[in-house]
Amino acid sequence: MAMIGDIDVGDFPLLLAPMEDVSDPPFRALCKEQGADVVYTEFISSEGLIRDAAKSVMKLDIYEKERPVGIQIFGAVLESMLKSVEIVEASGPDIIDINFGCPVKKVVSKGAGAGILKDIDLMVSLTEAMVKHTKLPVTVKTRLGWDHDSIKIVEVAERLQDVGCKAISIHGRTRAQMYKGEANWKPIAEVKNNPRMHIPVFGNGDVDTPERAVEMRDVYGLDGAMIGRASIGYPWFFKEVKHFMATGKHCDPPSMQERVDAARRHLQMAIDWKGERLGVFETRRHYTNYFKGIPNFKPFRMKMVTSDEPQGVFDAFDEVLAEFGDYQFA
Ligand SMILES: Cc1cc2nc3c(=O)[nH]c(=O)nc-3n(C[C@H](O)[C@H](O)[C@H](O)COP(=O)(O)O)c2cc1C
């Protein structure tokens, strides 16, 4: 059983990874329904939050049905991070997560995200100050290191634990790797095997089949799996992993009706939450996966991703059902 502070997140929990423009309330709701044990918001800029930037503040929206939920923030300036902790606390999450892993230039160049992997003392002192500033459990998401020659994740994880971090999720790549190559889970297992470690160590990176999740549990001995890209447009991934972990068998893939229902609800929730324009626009990236593998699907997908009005997209869903309603997914 894994505990994040006082929160029991079960045996080998599956965590929905924080993903910018993906892990929003509508998507988190769908993943939760399909078995995600912990969900995280997309990352939120501490500098944006303290300036009350509308987009950052909106990302604080969380709902009862998705608990336990972690709000993830990033930044590198102590005062901004502490002020953000107060702002985040007011929205009532279960967990505050610090992003020490984002590799993109505009974040790293300010010393935030994975940029902090160049200054481990700052990473530790920021974490310590944030832990002391809140009663909520603080967790950290990070990468193996800045580059191949500077991987010190065993030592880093232990230091974070010692200053009160309650769980750590580690993406098995360095910043230098960005998203290239394969995630390396060996150093994550070394973190877990450190006899001094007692907080949960969650593995992340390339869990894209139920078998890989089982490997992370049984071969690498980690405490849970954080899942990102495999869930985009495919919230059923959580259910499929759980089923496989429990039975050793694959469950049937969702039917066309289930896929269309999920896509409809996703779009409707997105419109309700962020308005028609953004709702239509930002849900587009999910459709490819919702309807993956269907032959001659292109015209339907094109309609879904080029309609600027919700009705056009809903019509495309109806047409898909009429045309492919009894399609059997492999
Ligand atoms: C579209 C996208 C957005 C992401 N945004 C974030 C983010 O906001 N915060 C974060 O910690 N990681 C972010 N990540 C990284 C993921 O959380 C995860 O670490 C990475 O995708 C590896 O896991 P996966 O192989 O299961 O996708 C993002 C990844 C993707 C693909």
Residue identifier of the C-alpha nearest atom 10 of ligand 1: 18
Q: What is the pLDDT of residues 237-274, one digit of tens each?
A: 999 999 999 999 999 999 999 999 999 999 999 999 99
Output the ligand 1 site: residues, CB below 6 A.
17-20, 22, 42-43, 72, 99, 101-102, 141, 171, 204-207, 227-230
Contact 140, 201 (CB under 8 A): no
| pLDDT surpassing 90 at residue 330 | no
Rounded-to-integer distance, Cα 216 and Cα 204, Å: 9
What spacing in Å lies between the alpha carbon of 170 and ligand 1's midpoint?
11
pLDDT, tens digit (0-9, with 9 covering 90-100), for 162-173: 999 999 999 999
pLDDT above 90: percentage of residues in the chain: 98
pLDDT band, residue 10 (cuts 50/70/90): very high
Q: What is the 3-state secondary structure (H, E, C) of 138-203?
A: EEEEEECCCCHHHCCHHHHHHHHHHCCCCEEEEECCCCCCCCCCCCCCHHHHHHHHCCCCCCCEEE
User: Is the pTM for the entire model greater than 0.75?
Assistant: yes
Average pLDDT, the chain: 97
Can you tell me the distance from the alpha carbon of 330 to that of 327, in angstroms, rounded to the nearest whole number? 10
Residue 87: pLDDT above 90?
Answer: yes
Ligand 1, residue 43: give the atom nearest the CA: 8
In tens, the pLDDT along 285-322 reads 899 999 999 999 999 999 999 999 999 999 999 999 99
pLDDT digits (tens, 9 = 90+) for 12-60: 999 999 999 999 999 999 999 999 999 999 999 999 999 999 889 999 9
Q: Which atom of ligand 1 is nearest to the CA of 183?
A: 25
- 31, 102, 165, 251: the catalytic one is 102
Is 251 tagged catalytic?
A: no
Take atom 4 of ligand 1 and give the residue whose Cα is closest.
19
Tell me which of 14, 19, 188 to substitute to probe ligand 1's pocket, judged by most ligand atoms within 8 Å of the beta carbon. Answer: 19
Residue 4 DSSP SS3: strand
Give, rounded to a whole angstrom, the gap between the first and last alpha carbons of the chain.
Answer: 34
